[in-house]
């Protein structure tokens, strides 16, 4: 199961959609606090850099196969527990590119595989204590003509018999605050934890 906010790629008759989703802050207790936090996120250097890495990577991986359209800067995406920096990216594909072909170009995103990807993945393999398995892999639907939609299976839950394992991550940069990143992962797991609580009633 996944509570992902991230679309990896959607393709429909030569048109594609994807998005950069990176940079996170909690939701406010009321509208005023929520708006203040969103403004803080839009001005935070660490989160803006994290977001820029993701958008730059998407653009560099797709610019030779598509005409890209994207806004000048990030917007705010609001989920029940957190707010994200969000940049929608869309356009017209050149030639017969399928959703699987785009997924292959885009996976792993910097949120999953770091930047630069080769060095980051080597570090991830060294420090992560458990194999990722299905966590963060592309999940989706592919039609016979190659159109379809893939999501990023991040913020996910693996159920096996009576055991539930929850996965979430945070964007770690040189100036990350360890405690803040840890608390962020807890917020991201909240939808799945709530689901488990409902099943336990």
Nearest Cα residue to 114 out of 101, 103, 100, 125: 125
The pLDDT assigned to 191 comes to 87
Is residue 136 within 8 Å of residue 167, measured between CB atoms? yes
Mean pLDDT by 10 residues, the chain (201 residues): 87 95 95 97 96 95 95 95 96 92 92 88 88 84 96 88 88 87 90 85 65
The pTM for the full model equals: 0.87
Answer for the pair 180, 40: CB distance below 8 angstroms, yes or no.
Answer: no
- pLDDT value, residue 42: 98
Distances in Å between the Cα of 201 and the Cα atoms of 137, 184, 189, 194, 196 are 31, 27, 19, 11, 9
- Are 83 and 25 a contacting pair, CB within 8 Å? yes
For residues 62 and 186, give the distance between their C-alpha atoms in angstroms, rounded to a whole number. Answer: 33
pLDDT of residue 132: 81
Q: Can you read off the two tokens belonging to residue 173?
A: 């940069």
Distance CA 134, CA 85 (A): 25
Per-residue pLDDT at 63: 94
């Amino acid at each position: 199961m996944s509570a992902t906010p991230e679309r990896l790629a959607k393709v429909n008759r030569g048109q594609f959609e994807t998005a950069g989703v990176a940079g996170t802050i909690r939701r406010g207790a009321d509208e005023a606090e929520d708006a203040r936090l969103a403004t803080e996120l839009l001005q935070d250097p660490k989160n803006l850099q994290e977001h820029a890495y993701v958008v730059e990577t998407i653009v560099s991986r797709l610019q030779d196969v598509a005409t890209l359209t994207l806004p000048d800067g990030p917007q705010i995406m609001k989920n029940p527990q957190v707010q994200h920096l969000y940049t929608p990216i869309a356009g017209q594909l050149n030639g017969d590119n399928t959703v699987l072909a785009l997924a292959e170009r885009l996976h792993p995103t910097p949120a999953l595989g770091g930047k630069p990807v080769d060095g980051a993945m080597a570090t991830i393999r060294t420090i992560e204590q458990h194999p990722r398995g299905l966590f963060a892999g592309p999940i989706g639907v592919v039609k016979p003509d190659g159109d379809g939609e893939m999501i990023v299976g991040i913020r996910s839950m693996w159920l096996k018999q009576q055991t539930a394992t929850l996965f979430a991550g945070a964007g770690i940069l040189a100036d990350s605050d360890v405690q803040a990143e840890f608390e962020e992962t807890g917020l991201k797991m909240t939808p799945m934890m709530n689901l488990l609580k409902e099943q336990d009633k």
